[in-house]
Amino acid sequence: MPYILSPIIRESFEGMWFEGSPYKKNVIYDIDSKAESSPPVNYSSYTLKPHSLPHIETPAHTQSGGSTIEHYFNKDHHQHFWGKTVVLKLKGNEFKSHPSIDGVMIWEISKDQIENALKEVTGSEQVPERLIISLEKTPLNSLGLHDPNYVLILSQEAADYITKGERLKLYGTSWKSSDFMPGKKQRPIHNTLFQCALIMECLDLDEVPAGTYFMSAFALPLEGASESPVCPILYTKEEVLEHL
């Protein structure tokens, strides 16, 4: 059974960035309407605020003049969205209390933690083209998703390591961002990753074992968008071979 890395998107979701509900449905036509002018269909508009949903970010998110999502749909760049993908689930508990924000815990993933996890999963320390990192035991919120108060981000050393040589094409995380710098304008981890890769955030990874998969993770090709909703799907090697 493929792993779907997005929950069902509900209007009851709260925005993670104080923007209100990230999903709103507005009815345009109602099949049960008695109005003669209404066609016999259900038809609605949908408002999405991607940063509180599973989404892909492009360099335009943190860089003036950076590439937007449609740039990655040309034949030279669309492999960012699909292909062999490694999922790492870090073990243990390295969360520490944030020094100045009550109720917030933070885990900065180290280079050594990535190297060790890669060696355990793939037998090699080579960074794959698509890398997703979460935890073996992720703290969850009431929706069963990564609790935003448990910050999981890369250290600068780890970000430098996985982008060295610019092999990386896509980095994914279960947390809601790739930086945590309250009150500051810098986004150094984002910008390090954007040297060669796109970023996926807010992924639902709780049921996904560590391992190597084939992934399809095409975002909506929205012209001029710095980010776009995505519903990534992971397939095991056996599932891929079964349907060839």
Predicted pLDDT at 35: 87
Task: Give pLDDT tens digits for 3-44.
Answer: 999 999 999 999 999 999 999 999 999 999 988 888 999 999
Pairwise CA distance, residues 208 & 120, whole Å: 16
Task: Give pLDDT tens digits for 161-214.
Answer: 999 999 999 999 999 999 999 988 999 999 999 999 999 999 999 999 999 999
Q: What is the DSSP letter of 37?
A: T
| pLDDT tier at 141, thresholds 50, 70, 90 | very high
Q: Between these two residues, 1 and 210, which has the higher pLDDT value?
A: 210
CB contact set of 44 (below 8 Å; sequence gap of 6+): 25, 26, 27, 28
Which of 73, 74, 77 lies closest to 197 in space, CA to CA? 77
Structure tokens at 101: 């924000």
Residue indicated by tokens 């609790």: 147
**Length of the chain counted residue by residue:** 244
CATH 3.50.30.50 fits 53-242, yes or no: yes
H/E stretch holding 68: none
Q: What region, left, alpha or beta, does residue 114 occupy, with left being phi > 0 and alpha being psi -120 to 50 degrees? A: alpha
